[in-house]
Amino acid sequence: MNNENNSFVTIETIRVNNAQIEHTTDTVAGEVSLTIIANDQEVATLRVSPQHIHELVCGYLFTSGFINDSSEMRNFRINNQKWLAYVDLPHLPDLSVIQKKNDNVPGNNNAMHISDLSSTIKPVYDLKVDKEQIFTLIQKLEKGSDLFNMTGAVHTSILSSNDTEYCIDDIARHNSVDKVIGRALLEKKDLRSFILARTGRTSSEIVYKVRRAGIPVTISRGAPTHQAVYLCREMGITLVGFARKRTFNIYAHPELIN
């Protein structure tokens, strides 16, 4: 049995417990193959959770460098039978603005080069973050979203400022980041005043998205890669990892944390 928006599916399964075998059901996360088409040109095909598609498309186009503002997206529409997302842009999508960085990156193999980012992104705010804010976000991640608690198969991203908070899941960690960034862009928020907290590891791909958005602080329950640490140190991003309960490691720019 599927739910209305296909975020989860109930399937028959066999459970083995020592010598006992039980026929039962389980709830698993929904997954679709989404193709983004801009100005009749195929831009990307992503494996995604089938919710918050408008936000995902906006966030993906922005963090990939196709657009600089959500207002550039016009006439968004989606065919949720074939999972095709269409959008009109004021310019033809220039596929050369993104370059393949790592063939092993799941889902999205493209990321902007550091030289592209340094020339197009404004400096971040001089934001200060209290440790208690980080502990609160850690607690929310540890509690888990409803979909994670049902399926155990999604990543969660929380984008938080003093007066606004977005929390969105996806089967892929990079998609959940694009979704919360897209939500903030569609609501005309200044991302430089936000903190991004996430499940999953921090790779260079995630750092490129964070820098593109101008987010000054990123927190993860998982570990960073060495490239992620290097990039955050170069780009002025505060990087927090292994955030569990009331402990965390600061890998880059501790000066933003009180």
Q: Domain segments of the chain: what residues?
A: 33-110, 131-256
Tokens encoding 48? 């995604």
pTM of the entire predicted model: 0.88
Asked whether the domain spanning 131-256 has the same topology as the one spanning 33-110, the reply is: no
Backbone angles phi, psi at 86, to 5 degrees: -110, 145
Q: What is the pLDDT of residue 164?
A: 94
Q: What is the pLDDT of residue 14?
A: 94
Low-confidence ranges of the chain (pLDDT < 70): 1-5, 96-125
**What class, spelled out in words, does domain 33-110 have in CATH?**
alpha beta
Tokens encoding 119? 């020339």
Q: What is the pLDDT of residue 151?
A: 79
Neighbour tally for 8: CB within 10 Å? 20
Between CA 77 and CA 13 the distance in angstroms is 36
Q: Does the domain formed by 131-256 have CATH 3.40.140.10?
A: yes
Pick from 56, 55, 52, 50: which is nearest to 9 by CA?
50
Tokens encoding 143? 């509690």
Tokens encoding 51? 């919710």
Q: What is the pLDDT of residue 145?
A: 82
